[in-house]
Structure 1
Amino acid sequence: MKKIGRSDIIGQRGMAHIQGVVNGMGFMFYPTGGVEAGIDGYIELRDTDTGEVSNLLLQVQGKASERERLQGDTETSFEFPCSEADITYWTQGTAPVLLVFVWLKDGKAYWKSLKDWFADPERIKARKVVFDKIADAFTIDAKAGIVSVAAAARPGAAGPSVRIDEDLLSNLVPAAFAQKLYWAPTRHATDKAFGAALRDLDREAGSEWIVRGKSVLSFHNLDRWPWNRLCEAEAMEEFDVDEWSDSDDDDRQRDFVALLNRAIGEFVRPQLFRDRDSGAFYFRKPRDRDNLNHAYRSLQNTTTRRVVGRYGKKRKDPTQASYWRHSAFMHRFVRLGGVWYAEITPTYHFTSDGRRPDGFGGERLKKIKEIENNAAVMGQFVMWRDFLLTQGKGDLLTGAYPFLSFNAIEPLELDVGVPDGLWTSQEIDPSSPLFEFALAGETVEEMSE
C-alpha cells in the first residue's frame, strides 16, 4: 500500500504555518510543489491598502521539526546546521532567500535572510544559522523586516506603502543669544595674541570674542575692564545682534558662527571639556572616582546614565584600567528658516587615564559606531538635549549664562512613517542599551596593549 510518511506530515504542517503568517501580513504565498531543489515557496509583496502587487518576490526555504530540543538551544537562541551545497544554492541566485524554521513543539517560527546572514565569510565557514528567539520571530510583526529585505534586492525596488502617523525627533536644538554685540579696534592682530594679553589681565575672563583685522567683535561690553585695557574703548561701537545673525553676508555669518562656538565652550563649563582634535565636548572624569552618572529627563521620565566609565584591564597590570570612555557630542550651528540651531551629533571620547587621549580611541569609536543602534543614538541625543536646556540657568549663587541658551523643539508630526521593524531589522543588536556594549568591550580590549 502507498504511504505518506511522518516527515511529509511534519513538512506540510510547517508549510501551512508559514503560509498562515504570510497571508496574515497581507502578502501572497505560492508553494512550489512537486520537484524542487531547496526552495519551497515564494512570497509576493502586496499593498494591503490598494491590493496592488509589484512583482517583488522572496524565495522561501521552509524547515519544520517536532524535536524537544534543537541544536545549540538556549533560552534566547538556537542553531540550524547547513550544508555547503545548500549555502551555495541559497546565495548564488538573483532573488533573496528566507530560511523559515517552524518549531512545531511550541507552534512558533523563526526567519533569516540567508544572503544577509552568509555575507560574513566566517558564518559560511561555520555552516550554521543562529536564530534569535525574539528578534527573528516569524510572526505578522516581521512584516516590516520582510519588506526591507525585498526592497533592498534591487535598485529602485518598492515595497508596500507605509501609512502610519509618526513623530520625528530632530537633532536640532534652537539657540537664543544676547541681543547686543560690541566692536572696537585693538593693537592685537590675532586671537592668540589677544587671548594671551587677556589672560595676563584676568585668567577668568570669558572667551566670547573674536579678533578680525585688528578689531574685536564680542558679546562682552568692550568699554568695561579688562576689555578696555586691550581695546580702543572710545572707538567702541554697539550693534544689534541681528546685524550679524540675520545677515546674508558670508563673512558676517562666519564671524557670528565663530562667536557662537566660543560661547558654547563657556556655556558648557565646568561640566564638559573640549577635545582639541575633534572639537567634541565630553564629560570629564571626577578626580575622586572612576565613574560618573548623569541624571536627566528622558522622553518619558527622569533617568540616570553612566557618562564616564572605566573599562578593561591592562595585561601587564590588571589593577590598572585599560581606558575610560566618556559620553560626548559634536555640534554645528546652522541657520534654517531664519532660526539658528545647534545640530547635535552624539559620540564618545576615550582617554587612557581619564584625562589624556587614548591612543586607540579612534579604533574604539569605530567599533562602537559599527554596533550602535538607532535607539542608542536617540537616547544619547535626548540626554544632551536635556543638558543644553538645563545648563546655564543659574541658581541662588550664580546668575544665568547671559550670552547663549537653548530651547526645546516640538516633535515633527508626519502622516507617513517607517515602522520600527525596518530599523531593527538592520540592527546587529536592537536590544543593546547605549554605552553598555558588552560586545564592544570584548572586541576592542586587545588594542589596549
Structure 2
Amino acid sequence: MKKIDKSAHTGDGAIALIHQRVYEMGFVWHERKTDAGIDGEIELRNAVTGEVANRALLVQSKGKGERRFPGENDDGFHFLCSAADVTYWMSAPVPVLLVCSHPETGEAWWMYVQGWFADPEHLATGRIDFDKNTQKFDRSAAQRLLALADPHGDAHVPVAEDRPETLTSNLLPVAIPATLYHASINTQDPREVLSRQRTEHASLPFAEDFILRGGQLYSWRHPERSALGKLITGPVKQMPVAQWADSGDETRQRWLVQLLNNALRSDVSADCAWHGGRKIIFWRPTRDFSARSIRSASGRTRQVFTPKYKKNNPTQVSYYLHAALEWQFLDIDGAWYCALVPTYHYTRDGHRTSLLLSEYLAGIKRLDRNPAVYHQTRMWAYYLHGHDEALAFRDNILTYGTLETFDAGKGIDDKAWRADSRKPADDADPEPLTEVREDGLALFEVPR
C-alpha cells in the first residue's frame, strides 16, 4: 500500500500554514514545486489598493509536528542550519526568511537569514535563536516584511488600514470666566506688583492672574479678594470677556491669551513653580526632597518629582528631575483649548536650574516615544481637570475638560513604526515615561 510519511505530511502542512499567513497579511504566496533550499516566495502587495510592489521575499520552511524544536520552551527555541543551506541563502539577491512552524497548532515564527548571519559569531555556529514573543509569523509581521523587502520605500507607500481607530489629541477644552475686572493702577511693572504683594501685604492672598495695560490692571478675580486691592488707585469695574475675544483686535486677543496663561499658572501655583526663562511650569519639590507622586489617568501612581542619586555614591543626590509642562491657548471656532506639551526640568537643589539642563533634556528626549508622551499628556490633563484622586481640591480660575478625541476610519499599526526589520520587534512600547531607573522602574512609575 502506498503511503505518505509523517515528515512529508508535516512539511506540506507547514507550507499550507505559510500560505494562509501570507494571505492574511494581504500578500501573495508563490510555492516552488522543485526546490534546493527555497520553498517559495512572498510577492508584496498593498492590501488596501491591491497594487503589487514588484518586491519579493524568499522563504525556506521548516515544520515540526508533535516534536519540538531544539531547546524549545514557552519563550523560544533554536534551529541549526547546515553550512550548505547558509551559503545558499546568503548568496540570494533578495532577503531570505526561515519560517519555523508547528502546523498542527497553527504557530509559526520567522527570521531574516542574511541579517542574522551577518554576525560572524552566528555564521560560525550556524545556529538561529528564535524569540516566540517577537518573531511571530502572522499578520502583525506584514509591515516589517514590507520594510525588509523595500527598505527605502521606492516601491511602496504605506497606506492606513480600513479599521476604526480613536485618536487622542493634546487639546484640553477650557471654559473661561465671562467677566474681567479692571481698575487703574500707578505702575506698569508687573514685577513691582508681585514684589509689593509679598513685602507690603504679605498677610493678604497673593495674586498673579493679572496683566497691566495702559494704566489699568486687568484680572480674573476681583482685586479686593487679594493684595491687589491695596495697590489699585481707582474703583473696580467689570467688562465682558467677549469684548476682547470677539473684537477682532489682535492686540486685545493677545492680552486675553496672556491673562489665560497667568490663570493657568495661578491654578497650579500651590503645586508647580514657574520658570520664566523656559516658559514652563514644573512640579515643586517636597519639603524633605523625597519623591513626589500623584494618581494619573490610568490609575497608576506616577512620580512627578524624583531625586536622582550618584552612581558612585547612592546616598548623595546628583540632581532632581521634575515633570514639566509647556502649553498654548488656542481659540478654535469660538471654543478655547489648551494644547499640552509635556516636558522635563532638572534642578541642582529642587529649585535652581541644573547647569547640565541641556544635556539631560537631550538625553531623555532621545528616549521618549509616543507612549511616553501620551501618558505624560494624560497625566497633566488629569491633574488640571482636578480629579479627586489626583490631588486635593483647587480653587481654579479656569475649568478644564478632558482631552479631545477623534474617530478615524483608518488605522495605523503602531508596532510597525520605526521597526527595524532585521531585529526582533518589541512586543509593545512601555507605557511609562521613558527614563529607566536603576531599580528597574521607569521614570514617574511607582510600584503598587
Q: TM-score normalized by structure 1?
A: 0.74
Question: CA separation in 2, counterparts of 1:359 and 1:87?
Answer: 54
Residue 238 (structure 1) shift: 2.4
| Alignment correspondent of 2:185 | 186
Closer/same/farther in 2, CA of residues 373 and 136 from structure 1, 3 Å limit: farther
2:303 aligned to 285, 304, 307, which one?
A: 307
* 8 Å contact kept, 2:53–2:156: no
* 8 Å contact kept, 1:282–1:329: yes
| Alignment correspondent of 2:284 | 284
| Alignment correspondent of 2:324 | 328
1:318 aligned to 314, 319, 328, which one?
A: 314
| Alignment correspondent of 1:381 | 377
SS across alignment from 2:217: strand
| Alignment correspondent of 2:444 | none
* 8 Å contact kept, 1:324–1:353: yes
Residue 160 (structure 1) shift: 5.8
* 8 Å contact kept, 2:133–2:427: no
Counterpart of 1:59, as a letter, is L
Closer/same/farther in 2, CA of residues 409 and 101 from structure 1, 3 Å limit: same
Residue 363 (structure 1) shift: 3.5
1:414 aligned to 378, 403, 408, which one?
A: 408
Counterpart of 2:42, as a letter, is Y
* 8 Å contact kept, 2:184–2:233: yes
* 8 Å contact kept, 1:110–1:133: yes
User: Within 5 A, what are the aligned runs for 1:298-447?
Assistant: 298=298, 303-308=299-304, 310=306, 313-390=309-386, 400-401=395-396, 403-409=397-403, 411-423=405-417, 425=419, 430-435=428-433, 437-438=435-436
Residue 310 (structure 1) shift: 4.5
- Percentage of pairs with the same residue: 23
| Alignment correspondent of 2:293 | 293
Question: CA separation in 2, counterparts of 1:87 and 1:201?
Answer: 83
Question: CA separation in 2, counterparts of 1:158 and 1:199?
Answer: 60
| Alignment correspondent of 2:196 | 197
User: Within 5 A, what are the aligned runs for 1:4-403?
Assistant: 17-31=17-31, 41-47=41-47, 52-55=50-53, 57-60=55-58, 62=60, 64=62, 76=75, 97=95, 99-102=97-100, 108-111=107-110, 132-146=131-145, 153-154=152-153, 157-159=156-158, 162-203=161-202, 204-222=205-223, 226-234=227-235, 237-288=237-288, 290-298=290-298, 303-308=299-304, 310=306, 313-390=309-386, 400-401=395-396, 403=397
Question: CA separation in 1, counterparts of 2:437 and 2:17?
Answer: 35
Residue 100 (structure 1) shift: 4.4
| Alignment correspondent of 2:446 | none
Closer/same/farther in 2, CA of residues 292 and 197 from structure 1, 3 Å limit: closer
Give the RMSD, CA atoms, in angstroms.
4.6
Question: CA separation in 2, counterparts of 1:45 and 1:317?
Answer: 57
Q: Which runs of 5+ in 1 are unaligned?
A: 1-6, 443-449
Q: Which runs of 5+ in 2 are unaligned?
A: 1-6, 441-448
Counterpart of 2:433, as a letter, is F
Residue 35 (structure 1) shift: 8.5
Question: CA separation in 1, counterparts of 2:135 and 2:42?
Answer: 19
Closer/same/farther in 2, CA of residues 198 and 79 from structure 1, 3 Å limit: farther
SS across alignment from 1:195: helix
SS across alignment from 1:328: strand
